[in-house]
Amino acid sequence: MAETPARHGTVVLERYESRALAGNPAGDPNVRTVPVYLPPSYDLEPRRRFPVAYLLAGFTGRGRALLNDAPWSEPIDQRMDRLVASGCGEMILVMPDCFTRFGGSQYLDSTATGRYEEHLIGELIPFVDGKYRTLGTREARGIAGKSSGGYGALVQAMKHPDRFAAVACHSGDMCFDYCYRGDVPKFCSTVQRAGGVAAWLEAFEARPQKKPDDLAALNLLAMAAAYSPNPAAEPFGVDLPCDLSTGAFRDEVWRRWLDHDPLTMIESRAGALRTLKLVYLDCGTQDEWNLHLGARMFAARLRELGVAHQHLEFDDGHMNVAYRYDVSLPKLAAALGAAA
Amino acid sequence: MAETPARHGTVVLERYESRALAGNPAGDPNVRTVPVYLPPSYDLEPRRRFPVAYLLAGFTGRGRALLNDAPWSEPIDQRMDRLVASGCGEMILVMPDCFTRFGGSQYLDSTATGRYEEHLIGELIPFVDGKYRTLGTREARGIAGKSSGGYGALVQAMKHPDRFAAVACHSGDMCFDYCYRGDVPKFCSTVQRAGGVAAWLEAFEARPQKKPDDLAALNLLAMAAAYSPNPAAEPFGVDLPCDLSTGAFRDEVWRRWLDHDPLTMIESRAGALRTLKLVYLDCGTQDEWNLHLGARMFAARLRELGVAHQHLEFDDGHMNVAYRYDVSLPKLAAALGAAA
Amino acid sequence: MAETPARHGTVVLERYESRALAGNPAGDPNVRTVPVYLPPSYDLEPRRRFPVAYLLAGFTGRGRALLNDAPWSEPIDQRMDRLVASGCGEMILVMPDCFTRFGGSQYLDSTATGRYEEHLIGELIPFVDGKYRTLGTREARGIAGKSSGGYGALVQAMKHPDRFAAVACHSGDMCFDYCYRGDVPKFCSTVQRAGGVAAWLEAFEARPQKKPDDLAALNLLAMAAAYSPNPAAEPFGVDLPCDLSTGAFRDEVWRRWLDHDPLTMIESRAGALRTLKLVYLDCGTQDEWNLHLGARMFAARLRELGVAHQHLEFDDGHMNVAYRYDVSLPKLAAALGAAA
Amino acid sequence: MAETPARHGTVVLERYESRALAGNPAGDPNVRTVPVYLPPSYDLEPRRRFPVAYLLAGFTGRGRALLNDAPWSEPIDQRMDRLVASGCGEMILVMPDCFTRFGGSQYLDSTATGRYEEHLIGELIPFVDGKYRTLGTREARGIAGKSSGGYGALVQAMKHPDRFAAVACHSGDMCFDYCYRGDVPKFCSTVQRAGGVAAWLEAFEARPQKKPDDLAALNLLAMAAAYSPNPAAEPFGVDLPCDLSTGAFRDEVWRRWLDHDPLTMIESRAGALRTLKLVYLDCGTQDEWNLHLGARMFAARLRELGVAHQHLEFDDGHMNVAYRYDVSLPKLAAALGAAA
């Protein structure tokens, strides 16, 4: 176990009452706890301003989970303390909570879940810049995440290059044909067996133990809520990627999903990506959702489009890879001009 | 364990030298062992003629495997003896060998594997009718199988209604979008890691122990060999459903696969299906390849097209469901006019 | 998701510098973070004193992990807030950290790991009673835990009936013949393959991803460190339950383990158990370590010995059963005289 | 796929009516099908006599299963043909059927199953020597098998050195403490849940699909029937290694099992083993039942006792290792003096 560094940062658990999420359609709370990590020098140098990075949790997670205690894996604050002690530039880290009843929002606005993109971009950024000594500029603001959080980071950076100057995407959702589509028939069977999506979700929520099949189904429901919301659809205002009565795949819904695929979005966002000082992505070559293939295709297209980037692979699967932040956070700090 | 019936049939292991398969491109033998089951009365009534059913083995299997000894599951001859003892009509059963280097041929002609459809239809049928006391008419000839064999049975019945009057399809491959497509990225990763499809296949063949990932990859290779052969493609004369260098899905190849999907074929073969005296299909509702969804869609389309059929479901997965022959064989015998 | 109760408790993260653990043989830190939950009325009624319960984490866990954020499962403080809102008596909860390099100490003193029992009983109890408004009596002090924490709770209650008046043991280690012994050959193989226990542990610690086989091996090493320490043994001062050179099971070491089995200890501790106001144990009937069998045997022996107790079973496995605290904490609070 | 050798042997399916098994207590048939493989020269040289080896199938198997057709694995007759073509001496192979209702007999006499050892030694050997051109001497008779068949081979060779001069044991059951004992609590839970061993077995037999947990339980029941039969015990005349009402392990029953453990038997059978011309054992180092540890201990004890032997390991698990016969059969043939 690594020696605890002498100097360490502070975590503030911000209780944020969101207007964007008030009365959201999924019935989720609009008051969220947002951990903010302040680096070791924050208190010691009361006039110094710092770059800031937003860290987005993966599916079924939220910011607080990045602070969880676990054997052989540091919570993010101790990880950052250790990295800083090793020369990484000091940054403020903000850990939003965009969890929903469906397990997550993909950090997007949706009529089915709520305005999570607005919450992140329109609310949290000014709140953090107003309350904490961030540098407050786009040049000193980055975004990162893993899995659905990696997706969120990459998509938000592409959509808001005026807000973010650097992005790190770990095992992020992309190439939806490879990462989600194979689960559509499983979703269909699971939900049909339960008697429909509302009956299934209710039963899921009532079960103390959540099974892998259920989590796979929940994942697809969350993606439908994020990518193909439809206020007229019953239940939950969501168009599903399959017809539950016939079991048939719904191409027209799928095309709406693909509009949100980073592999699609890159075509119209290359200009945004070129303005970024860091485009970092990595993925394990045994990723159970085939995200390493998506990352390779995304990186290949970046190359073709002349977008500077870093694309790394490592020999592991999708789960428990927080150790990859050891690679990305120092790069992010450097790109945002953080001083050691 | 069931009592052994007093009267029992005979199995002849025919050694058939195929001209259709001579010099086949995959280098597989053209001499095949084809078990033929002769029912109990065959020897006792030397002038009696019998209906005949062709039983097609699933992927990685061939006719002989239907005779394998296993605990708590009868070989097909003992199963048929027991069914006959219980009143099932007596039929001859023919068990072709259409195995290939890739694990199977899907019972189709392909420039990549060989002329297995021709072998089955053009060679075995006349050979069997010539050598054994079959009734020899289309009205008294059926076809059945499980998994890839169920696919083969259904497809051959649709393509050759002049040869077959009844079909039973157990857990047959259909709705390729649901049963194969999700494995394309896995195939891609497995083969890329091995350094290409030729290197992978060689390593696979050398390994004494075949792993599940390997068998999933082999399955896709076999399907490509059956559905998207291309004499100009290297290696193996097969167009793959993904680009191994970029990892990208190849829609134009996939469309060729879909031409072989029973869900596609049904559109132009409804007339053929209407002439059948029995169209039977069943599938387990926990089928790991989602084939129960395909079966439901196929059955729904049969209904819409006004094709009489029987569609059953049972509570099980894909493997070890030979006990379903207890349901289909008596129906097949009845449809073919077999006397008890 | 349950409504957040209006009144909620507070968690203080105590940093405790242990003398008992100073210079411990496993090289683990002697400064530990011990979360203390103060119930809702603690601040509102500044003269009121409260019962206290010690909650022991399972193998590879420590107190802080009980506060982890997870979807569909509350951290212990929110769970307790909700229970209190539903009428559960208010208690202080103390969550010790007895983690070691080997994954846990079983809350015992050992020459191989350190004096964790002394730390818990001799240090934390007086510290908590001195700093917080506990009632401070044995009658108002309880202990509970799950898995290795359930073991710790039961064993400490049996050994220190002068300190604890109530115990709740969830899925606790017992009947070592059933819960550990089957893993001895796996441990042996894993460690032999790695070139010995020191080489194995070093490699384990270096691997970013911990595999199930490794965790099973670590579990046995931790148990050996807890149950069969031997200062003269190399490495780690631990006698292993198998001879690594021959692979043979070591009966004489195993007998030392059995001395620590609750099923053994009960024989000499019935008197202590009879003094407890609550002896509660439960276990899932699909427990992967067969602990439901151990619990039944323990309960049967309690019955024979005339010890009042409650023994419940539930339909689940070993993991993710924190929801069982909903049953035990109110019982514990009632037994300790906690007012709602 | 290997070239089919020009010369090949013949398989005769002997239908043997056993007196030893007539009216056996488990109600299994006493008429058994025993495949006999006659090597290529058998017919060509009508006066030549051959060594003979008995091949024992593993748990849930019987002789016929050695002839099963499978992809990438030869049936034993084709394997032997290929080995002979490569220079292996020609032998007759006999494949007994000692299957029982419980999945197997361990090739022992038992009041619970029947007289399978007597059937093998007292019936089949003279029958084969009488009917086929074996050399008929102990010097030219060997025995081999895998898993429970490896156990059977080793035990029969130890008990009947007057009948066998060579033995090959692949992944054979030994060190019962490591290979069976860990499954006792699982067995106990499975059977308790079903309402007792008779109810469980009946339900097992009725299920078309046999689950892994069920097969593990069946395995223990079969071992109890083989190692701890007790005509007075209900049901099935079997003493179980655990008390189904309390769940407790039964040491006195276990000791009876251990009497049948090769690790125990070796102590009194070293003399017998020393007379063998070949004692061969091997096991995969990832054996799921830890049999590689047992094999090492057995080999170590052979070494200490001065018994010449060959002990090999290979990098694989327990299942699908028939390819190891490529190593053992030529050694066996050589030891028995078989001419190429």
Between the two ends of chain B, the Cα-to-Cα distance in Å is: 23
What pLDDT, in 10s, does the model give residues D154-170? 999 999 999 999 999 99
ipTM exceeding the 0.90 mark: yes
Could you read off the pLDDT of D287-324 as tens digits, one per residue?
A: 999 999 999 999 999 999 999 999 999 999 999 999 99
Assess whether pLDDT exceeds 70 at residue D59.
yes
pLDDT tens for B161-205 read 999 999 999 999 999 999 999 999 999 999 999 999 999 999 999
Which of helix, strand or coil describes residue D216?
helix
Q: What's the CA gap between C40 and B98, in Å, rounded?
A: 74
What average pLDDT does the structure give for chain A? 96
Assess contact for A92 and A53: CB atoms under 8 A: yes
Asked if residues B97 and B62 have their Cβ atoms less than 8 Å apart, the reply is yes
CB distance A34 to A124 below 8 Å? yes
Q: List CB contacts of A218: < 8 A, sequence separation 6 or more.
A: A60, A102, A103, A201, A204
D177 reaches C (C-beta below 8 A): yes
Residues D125-161 have pLDDT tens digits of 999 999 999 999 999 999 999 999 999 999 999 999 9
Q: What is the model's pLDDT at position A198?
A: 97
CA C134 to mean position of chain CA atoms:
21
B 103-122: CB under 8 A from D: 103
Interchain proximity D285–C249, CB inside 8 Å: no
Higher pLDDT, A173 or A1: A173
pLDDT surpasses 80 at D3: no
Percent of chain B with pLDDT over 90: 97
Answer whether A246 touches B (CB < 8 Å). Answer: yes
Q: Is the pLDDT of residue C339 over 50?
A: yes
The DSSP code sequence of C266-291 is HHHHHHHHHT-SEEEEEEETT-TT-H
C-chain residues near D175 (CB < 8 A)? 185
Which of A61, A65, A69 has its CB closest to that of C64?
Answer: A69
| DSSP states along B39-98 | -THHHHSTT--B-EEEEE--TT--GGGGG--BTTB--HHHHHHHHHHTTPPP-EEE----
CB contact under 8 A, C209 and A65: no
Read off the amino acid at residue B264.
Answer: T
Residue among B100, B103, B125 nearest B21 (CA): B100
pLDDT above 70 coverage of chain A, percent? 98
pLDDT band (50, 70, 90) for residue D113? very high
What the block records as the tokens of A166 is 């650097």
Of the pLDDT bands very low, low, confident and very high (cuts 50, 70, 90), residue D2 is: very low
Tell me the pLDDT of chain D averaged across its residues. Answer: 96
Ordered DSSP codes for D99-126? --TTS--TT-EETTTEEHHIIIIIIIHH
B184, B188, B297: residue with CB nearest A248: B297
In the prediction, which pLDDT does D5 show? 64
Does the beta carbon of A255 lie under 8 angstroms from any beta carbon of chain B? no
Encode pLDDT of A282-315 as tens digits. 999 999 999 999 999 999 999 999 999 999 999 9
User: D4 falls in which pLDDT band (50, 70, 90)?
Assistant: low
State the pLDDT at residue A338.
86
The whole-number average pLDDT for the span B129-139 is: 98
Mutation for testing the C interface, residue in A69, A76, A102 having most C CBs under 10 Å = A69
B170 by DSSP, 3-state: which? strand
CB contact under 8 A, D4 and B60: no
CA distance A58 to A287: 15
CB contact under 8 A, B189 and A246: no
Q: What is the arithmetic mean of pLDDT over C293-310?
A: 98
Residue C79's pLDDT band, with cuts at 50, 70 and 90, is very high
d(CA C25, CA C27) in angstroms, rounded, equals: 5
Query: What are the chain A neighbours of B184 within 8 Å (beta carbons)?
Result: 178
Task: Report in angstroms the alpha-carbon separations of D245 from B196, D189, D195.
Answer: 58, 11, 10
Q: Are C236 and C205 in contact (CB under 8 A)?
A: no
Neighbours of chain D (3+ CB pairs under 8 A): B, C
Residue of D34, D69, D73, D218 to mutate for B, most B C-beta atoms under 10 A: D69
CA dist., res. D213 & res. B35, Å (int):
35
**Mean pLDDT over all residues of chain C?**
96
- C-alpha span between C293 and C318 (Å, rounded): 13
**Residue range A252-270, pLDDT digits in tens:** 999 999 999 999 999 999 9
User: pLDDT digit string (tens) for A118-138?
Assistant: 999 999 999 999 999 999 999
A36 within 8 A of A119, measured Cβ to Cβ: no
How large a percentage of chain D has pLDDT more than 90?
Answer: 97
The span from the CA of B202 to the CA of B194, in Å, is 10
pLDDT tens, residue by residue, A65-98? 999 999 999 999 999 999 999 999 999 999 999 9
* D247:C296 CB<8 A: yes
Contact between chains at C103 and A64 (C-beta distance less than 8 A): no
Pairwise CB contact (< 8 Å): D181 & C181: yes
pLDDT in the model for residue A5: 64
pLDDT in tens, C206-251: 999 999 999 999 999 999 999 999 999 999 999 999 999 999 999 9
List, for residues B144-159, the tens digit of each pLDDT value: 999 999 999 999 999 9
Instruction: Specify the pLDDT at position C207.
Output: 95
User: Taking the model in full, what pTM does it have?
Assistant: 0.95
Q: What pLDDT band is residue C2 in, cutting at 50, 70 and 90?
A: very low
The pLDDT assigned to A339 comes to: 86
Q: Are A203 and A220 within 8 A, CB to CB?
A: no
- Contacts of residue C74 in chain A, CB cutoff 8 Å? none
Q: What is the pLDDT of residue B2?
A: 43
Whether residue C7 is predicted with pLDDT greater than 90 in this model: the reply is no
Q: What is the pLDDT of residue D7?
A: 87
Show the tokens assigned to A72: 């052989």
Say yes or no for a CB contact (<8 Å) between B185 and A249: no
Contact B70, B79 (CB under 8 A): no
CA–CA distances in Å: residue B293 to residues B185, B259, C191:
21, 19, 47
As a residue count, chain A comes to 340
Alpha-carbon distance D61 to nearest alpha carbon in chain B (angstroms): 7
Say what percent of chain D tops pLDDT 70.
98
Whether pLDDT at C151 is above 50: yes
Q: Does B3 score more than 80 pLDDT?
A: no
Q: Do B99 and D71 touch (CB under 8 A)?
A: yes
